[in-house]
């Protein structure tokens, strides 16, 4: 009982000292700190991403299946430096069977002020984590004659380790994750319910697109998503619409698919949100890996694509369109990480004379 009272008092004190903060979305919160965040691989340019955050093909013993890659794979050479992307502390250093030698860092938006929302119906948070996997070694402490250890304080840009191929990795790379609110995955939380573990009581998957914390490339480096010249409007043999698009940075937050009639009225819509996993099959709740493929979804990228050749297909399955009148169109609105009025991407696909449907 005493413990509860002291917690309540400390909360009142904090509230009394600070202006009551309005809640922020996770997108707004990361935009506010992007100027201070550094890229984790000083020797690897921003287009060294071999596998982006999002759907991709998983190859196990030669069998290809759908997967959701919940981090970035940044290519480099054995022994390349890995640095902390932001200030904080070493949360954990551990060797995992899959992730290999891993350094987990904890960072705060504003320590003690829980005002950042990932999901509107969940408790807001004040913290985020970066996971750095497949390392070859751990950096030395900057002033003491020892390697970094749990709870050491870390500054942005500080050396934390060296790139490697430990764990399950087919080549030398950094698997880099951004997790919000908790470092524990949903799979872990479901497999280790309280009281065994209380590290993820939010019942959501904390991995979000790591590109969220990095600054927009300069205009000369960044090309706006090129969709209009890539779209393929003819129905595929299986009856689904496939729209190809190309971008040079994997930066989707969400994609809204809408069917609109000739008068501009909305017939139906479907939202895919990669970070919040809207549009995923609830039957695969444990991993949230699979899209609901009876509704519009993104195809899976194969491994080994460079971000300079980052292509993805939007699929509109014919089963989602039980009827399509002459003049109906699809409107696709892409919300990207660095969205502005100029980069906002909304386009129409469909043939006004086409009465395709099932």
Contact residues for Zn ion, defined by CB under 5 A: 71, 73, 175
Residue nearest to Zn ion (CB): 175
Bridge partners, residue 298, by sequence: 314
Nearer to Zn ion, 71 or 76 (CB): 71
Nearer to Zn ion, 29 or 52 (CB): 52
Nearest Cα residue to 153 out of 78, 197, 91: 91
Compute the least distance from the CB of residue 192 to Zn ion, in Å: 23
CA distance 192 to 355: 51
Compute the least distance from the CB of residue 274 to Zn ion, in Å: 15
Compute the least distance from the CB of residue 67 to Zn ion, in Å: 10
Nearer to Zn ion, 40 or 296 (CB): 40
Nearer to Zn ion, 71 or 350 (CB): 71
Question: DSSP letter string over 3-46?
Answer: HHHHHHHHHHHHHHHSPPPPPEEHHHHHHHHGGG---S-TTS-T
Q: Helices (H) and strands (E) in the chain — how many of each? A: 3, 22
Nearer to Zn ion, 275 or 345 (CB): 275
Compute the least distance from the CB of residue 301 to Zn ion, in Å: 12
Compute the least distance from the CB of residue 71 to Zn ion, in Å: 5
Q: Are 32 and 213 in contact (CB under 8 A)?
A: no
CA distance 253 to 338: 9
Compute the least distance from the CB of residue 99 to Zn ion, in Å: 9
CA distance 302 to 204: 26
Compute the least distance from the CB of residue 73 to Zn ion, in Å: 4
Q: 121: how many CB neighbours lie within 10 A of its CB?
A: 6
3-state secondary structure (DSSP) of residue 140: strand
CA distances from residue 18 to 107, 110, 127, 242 in whole angstroms, order as listed: 20, 12, 18, 51
Nearer to Zn ion, 70 or 127 (CB): 70
Question: DSSP letter string over 195-260?
Answer: TT--S--S-S--EE-GGGGSPPPPTTT----B-TTTEE-SPPTTS-EEEEEEESS--EEEEEEEEE
Nearer to Zn ion, 52 or 334 (CB): 52
Nearer to Zn ion, 55 or 71 (CB): 71
Compute the least distance from the CB of residue 199 to Zn ion, in Å: 22
Characterize 335-356 residue by residue with b for buried, 16 or more Cβ atoms within 10 angstroms of its Cβ, and e for exposed.
bbbbbeeeeebeeebbeeeeeb
């Amino acid at each position: 009982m005493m413990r509860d009272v002291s917690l309540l008092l400390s909360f009142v004190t904090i509230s009394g000292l600070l202006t009551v903060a309005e809640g922020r979305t996770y997108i707004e919160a990361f935009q506010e700190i992007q100027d201070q965040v550094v890229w984790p691989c000083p020797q690897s340019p921003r287009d060294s991403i071999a596998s982006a955050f999002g759907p991709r093909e998983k190859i196990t013993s030669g069998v290809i299946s759908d997967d959701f890659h919940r981090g970035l794979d940044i290519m480099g050479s054995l022994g390349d430096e890995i640095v902390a992307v932001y200030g904080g502390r070493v949360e954990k250093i551990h060797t995992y069977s899959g992730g290999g030698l891993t350094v987990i860092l904890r960072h705060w938006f504003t320590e003690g002020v829980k005002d950042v929302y990932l999901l509107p119906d969940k408790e807001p948070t004040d913290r985020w984590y970066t996971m750095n996997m497949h390392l070859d070694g751990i950096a030395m402490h900057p002033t003491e004659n020892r390697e970094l250890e749990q709870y050491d304080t870390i500054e942005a840009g500080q050396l934390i380790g060296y790139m490697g191929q430990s764990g399950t990795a087919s080549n030398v790379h950094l698997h880099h994750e951004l997790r919000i609110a908790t470092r524990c995955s949903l799979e872990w939380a479901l497999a280790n319910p309280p009281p065994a573990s209380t590290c993820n009581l939010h019942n959501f998957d904390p991995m979000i697109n790591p590109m969220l914390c990095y600054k927009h490339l300069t205009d000369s480096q960044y090309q706006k998503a090129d969709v209009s010249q890539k779209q393929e409007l003819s129905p595929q043999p299986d009856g689904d619409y496939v729209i190809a698009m190309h971008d040079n940075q994997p930066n989707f937050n969400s994609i809204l698919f809408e069917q609109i009639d000739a008068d501009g009225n909305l017939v139906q819509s479907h939202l895919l949100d990669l970070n919040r996993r809207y549009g995923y099959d609830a039957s695969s709740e444990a991993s949230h890996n699979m899209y609901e493929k009876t509704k519009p979804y993104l195809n899976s990228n194969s491994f080994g694509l460079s971000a300079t050749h980052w292509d993805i297909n939007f699929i509109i399955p014919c089963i989602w369109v039980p009827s399509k009148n002459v003049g109906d169109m699809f409107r696709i609105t892409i919300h990207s990480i660095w969205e502005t009025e100029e980069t906002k991407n909304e386009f129409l696909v469909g043939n006004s004379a086409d009465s395709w449907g099932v």
